[in-house]
C-alpha cells in the first residue's frame, strides 16, 4: 500500500478546509480502482454552494496543504459528493 493511500486512510472522516473559502469537505471514502497503481477519494460537502470541477487547496490543522482536483459527483439529501482520482 502506498504512503499516499495510507495518508488518506488515516484521515477518513476528517474535515478539510478549502483555502480562500468558508467551505469544508469531509473525507468520506478511500477506494482502490481497477488499476492497482491508482485510488479514488470521495469527499462530502454541503448541498450549496456546489463547487465546480476544479483544483482546490485543502487544509487541515497539523498537515501540509494539498492541491487536489475534485469533480462534482452525486447530490443527495446529505449534500454534495466530490471525487478525486490519483494515479501513482
Bridge partners (DSSP) of residue 32 are 39
CA neighbor of 81 nearest in space, from 37, 55, 51: 51
Q: Report the domain count for the chain.
A: 1
Total count of residues recorded for the chain: 88
71 grid coordinates:
469533480
Identify the pLDDT of residue 32: 86
How far apart CA 13 and CA 67 sit, in angstroms, is 19
Phi/psi-derived region of residue 50, left when phi > 0, alpha when psi is between -120 and 50, beta in every other case: beta
4 vs 9, more confident: 9
pLDDT of 76 strictly over 60: yes
Identify the pLDDT of residue 74: 92
DSSP state for residue 88 in the 8-state scheme: -
Which tens digits make up the pLDDT trace of 19-69? 999 999 999 999 988 888 899 999 999 999 999 999 999 999 989 999 999
Identify the pLDDT of residue 4: 85
Q: Would you place residue 1 in the very low, low, confident or very high pLDDT band (cuts 50, 70, 90)?
A: low
Domain that holds residue 77: 3-87
How far apart CA 60 and CA 65 sit, in angstroms, is 7
Amino acid at each position: 500500500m502506498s504512503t499516499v493511500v495510507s495518508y488518506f486512510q488515516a484521515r477518513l472522516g476528517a474535515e478539510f478546509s478549502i483555502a480562500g473559502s468558508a467551505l469544508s469537505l469531509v473525507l468520506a471514502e478511500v477506494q482502490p480502482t481497477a488499476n492497482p497503481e491508482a485510488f479514488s477519494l470521495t469527499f462530502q460537502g454541503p448541498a450549496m454552494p456546489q463547487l465546480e470541477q476544479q483544483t482546490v487547496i485543502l487544509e487541515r490543522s497539523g498537515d501540509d496543504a494539498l492541491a487536489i482536483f475534485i469533480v462534482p459527483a452525486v447530490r443527495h439529501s446529505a449534500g454534495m459528493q466530490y471525487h478525486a482520482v490519483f494515479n501513482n
